[in-house]
Amino acid sequence: MTERELWERYQRYLCVVPALDFTLDVSRMRFPADYLERMRPRVVEAFDAMEALEQGAISNPDEQRKVGHYWLRAPERAPEPALQKEVTDTVAAIHAFAKDVHEGKVKPQKAQRFTHVLIVGIGGSALGPQLVADALGTAKDPMQVSFFDNTDPDGFDRVLAQLGGRLAETLTLVISKSGGTKETRNGMLEAERGYSAQGLDFSKHAVAVTGAGSELDSHAKKQGWLRTFPMWDWVGGRTSVTSAVGLLPARLQGLDIDALLKGARDMDAATRERDALKNPAALLALMWHYAGDGRGHKDMVILPYKDRLLLMSRYLQQLVMESLGKETDLDGQVVNQGIAVYGNKGSTDQHAYVQQLREGVLNFFVTFIEVLKDREGGSQEVEPGVTSGDYLLGFLLGTRRALYEKDRESLTLTVPDVSARTLGALIALYERAVGFYATLVHINAYHQPGVEAGKKAAGVVLALQGKLTARLREARAEARTAEQLAADIGMPDEVETVFKVLQHLAANPDRGVERTPGATPTQARFRAK
């Protein structure tokens, strides 16, 4: 197509949300003229399914759960008055608690004021808070935020070392919907140890966000933590950023959570529109479907031209891949669905992988995110009449054109700024697009059965380690190979796992296992020290 024809196509398909100053441009997707018409029956089905979901249907059939994240931004739409009240009461409680913390009414054990927040969580209990904190945070925020989002010992040490003596002024939020996630439990225990090492009582610095009656809920109550905020079974982890999971950290950081909610609410309103061409979430889902033939054949590359949106791709990775990456469809047929998501930011990536995007394997489509506002205040000129921000736009348009010339398709989202309102809108847009896409390809977007397998297998490894260390203690000074030890504990077929566990224990001197090299690495001998 010529530039003129593209301009026509741009105007024809431009999807605008005036209330948010938001546009979605699909002109650089080469879908045929009749594509949207052909998809109409499935789109109608997707709109119907979404309406039923918002009205409180059991839209997550495997777990027999309602899916209510949209009610978090519009409590009046929740199907039961009790739910509405829980949502509004929780937002009010978050405001009141954060105010008390900022004013020093809720204060730490041995300092005047809380100045830091340490968030302990993983997956949906960390990615949303991380995105919001990084996108909207400033050096002037009343509280700075750090994260424990793994069970990496060195990761814990690094964050604690950065906090140093300021741990005394740090409020720790332990966030877990289920309240039983091991990485988060470990992070909590490691944080507790950090406070104790400084002569501080963890419970006087700790707040939980979790489901009522969970392990974490009971623990927090028993230990007399400062406070607990609720999570509900009708909010999925990866869509929980507009619940206490995302709102509490953001409000403590000093961010405008009402604007975040308003942005999401306005996008929700725009994405209830039943004309797909006027509904950015429906159009987005249709473009994903077109790009990957409804089979996820093309990866979604997220390229925000703004440093503050760097974590968007990581956030969307969970939202999209955990929702859409499914073995079976709603009828139990094996479909192995999904869309792979990756990305970082432009123009930085132009100096990294954009080479492959332009010339290499054609297995992707790009989503450009354009932010109109350059910065707070004015910009200097880096060349006569040209600012750094002009360069950023130039690189976006240049890369988009260079890709299009080589038949590489792209979508462009344009937003006015990176504000709480805009971020809320982007989050809501993708939540809804994922929901629509799931109906287009007939899968349940709201469960994650595949995640459990890895967790169970990890449990088996730790149980094996218990047997192994008991056996090593029994064998005392006698050094034995992994083969021998696997046979000793009655698990000869698990010899590789036995070897890996021994190798790890021996590499960490405090674990009491000594390794004597053998003719090959796997013939090494191990004994208790």
Query: Taking CB under 6 A as the rule, does residue 176 contact ligand G6P?
Result: yes
Q: Interface with ligand G6P by CB under 6 A: which range of 177-185, 268-276, 285-293, 382-390?
A: 177-185
Q: Is 8 a catalytic residue?
A: no
User: What is the spatial distance between Cα 21 and Cα 357, in angstroms, rounded to a whole number?
Assistant: 30
Question: Given strand 525-528, what is the order of strands in its sheet?
Answer: 480-481, 525-528, 513-516
Q: Interface with ligand G6P by CB under 6 A: which range of 87-95, 173-181, 350-358, 495-503?
A: 173-181
Query: Nearer to ligand G6P by C-beta: 455 or 511?
Result: 455
Q: In the set 123, 230, 263, 304, which binds ligand G6P (CB under 6 A)?
A: 123
Q: Could you give the string, one character per residue 320-339, with x where binding to ligand G6P holds by CB under 6 A and - elsewhere? A: --x-----------------
SS3 of residue 330 by DSSP:
coil
Which of the residues 304 through 323 are near ligand G6P (CB under 6 A)?
A: 322
Which of the residues 182 through 201 are near ligand G6P (CB under 6 A)?
A: 184
Which of the residues 415 through 474 are near ligand G6P (CB under 6 A)?
A: 448, 451
User: What is the spatial distance between Cα 529 and Cα 247, in angstroms, rounded to a whole number?
Assistant: 49
Q: What is the total count of residues that contact ligand G6P (CB under 6 A)?
A: 14
Nearest distance in Å: CB 182, ligand G6P: 9
Q: Interface with ligand G6P by CB under 6 A: which range of 20-28, 137-145, 176-184, 294-302?
A: 176-184
Query: Nearer to ligand G6P by C-beta: 346 or 435?
Result: 435
SS3 of residue 392 by DSSP:
helix
Query: Nearer to ligand G6P by C-beta: 452 or 510?
Result: 452
Catalytic choice (140, 351, 376, 405): 351
Query: Taking CB under 6 A as the rule, does residue 212 contact ligand G6P?
Result: no
Secondary structure (DSSP) of 187-207: HHHHHHHHHHHTT--GGGGEE
Query: Nearer to ligand G6P by C-beta: 268 or 322?
Result: 322
Query: Taking CB under 6 A as the rule, does residue 292 contact ligand G6P?
Result: no
User: What is the spatial distance between Cα 303 and Cα 283, in angstroms, rounded to a whole number?
Assistant: 19
Catalytic choice (455, 478, 496, 529): 455
Cβ-in-10-Å burial (0-12, 13-18, 19+) of 347 comes to middle
Catalytic choice (169, 192, 322, 370): 322
Residue 247 has which token pair? 């709102």
CA 189 to chain centre: 23
Question: Given strand 170-176, what is the order of strands in its sheet?
Answer: 144-148, 116-120, 170-176, 206-211, 227-231
User: What is the spatial distance between Cα 102 and Cα 212, in angstroms, rounded to a whole number?
Assistant: 27
Query: Taking CB under 6 A as the rule, does residue 238 contact ligand G6P?
Result: yes
Query: Nearer to ligand G6P by C-beta: 204 or 447?
Result: 447
Query: Nearer to ligand G6P by C-beta: 396 or 445?
Result: 445
User: What is the spatial distance between Cα 491 and Cα 106, in angstroms, rounded to a whole number?
Assistant: 53
Nearest distance in Å: CB 438, ligand G6P: 15
Query: Taking CB under 6 A as the rule, does residue 177 contact ligand G6P?
Result: yes
Q: Dump strand ranges (E) for 344-426.
A: 364-371, 410-415
Q: In the set 17, 39, 122, 413, which binds ligand G6P (CB under 6 A)?
A: 122
Query: Taking CB under 6 A as the rule, does residue 246 contact ligand G6P?
Result: no
Nearest distance in Å: CB 341, ligand G6P: 15
Query: Taking CB under 6 A as the rule, does residue 239 contact ligand G6P?
Result: no
Nearest distance in Å: CB 105, ligand G6P: 29
Q: Is 322 a catalytic residue?
A: yes
User: What is the spatial distance between Cα 172 and Cα 193, in angstroms, rounded to a whole number?
Assistant: 13
How far is the CA of 251 from the CAs of 246, 376, 428, in angstroms? Answer: 9, 22, 19
Q: Interface with ligand G6P by CB under 6 A: which range of 119-127, 268-276, 280-288, 301-309?
A: 119-127
Q: Is 455 a catalytic residue?
A: yes
Strand-pair category, 116-120 with 22-25: unpaired
Query: Nearer to ligand G6P by C-beta: 23 or 178?
Result: 178
Q: Reply yes or no: is the peptide bond before residue 347 cis, omega within 30 of 0.
A: yes
- Return the closest-CA partner of residue 114 out of 134, 138, 141: 141
Q: In the set 23, 150, 178, 348, which binds ligand G6P (CB under 6 A)?
A: 178
CA 190 to chain centre: 23
Contact 183, 150 (CB under 8 A): yes
Residues facing residue 513 across a β-bridge: 528
Query: Taking CB under 6 A as the rule, does residue 124 contact ligand G6P?
Result: yes
Strand-pair category, 513-516 with 525-528: antiparallel
Nearest distance in Å: CB 62, ligand G6P: 13
Residue 100 has which token pair? 């008390």
Cβ-in-10-Å burial (0-12, 13-18, 19+) of 203 comes to middle
- Return the closest-CA partner of residue 310 out of 333, 336, 344, 356: 344
Nearest distance in Å: CB 208, ligand G6P: 11
Query: Nearer to ligand G6P by C-beta: 178 or 348?
Result: 178
Nearest distance in Å: CB 63, ligand G6P: 12
Contact residues toward ligand G6P (CB under 6 A) are 122-125, 176-178, 181, 184, 237-238, 322, 448, 451
Which positions are annotated as active-site residues? 322, 351, 455
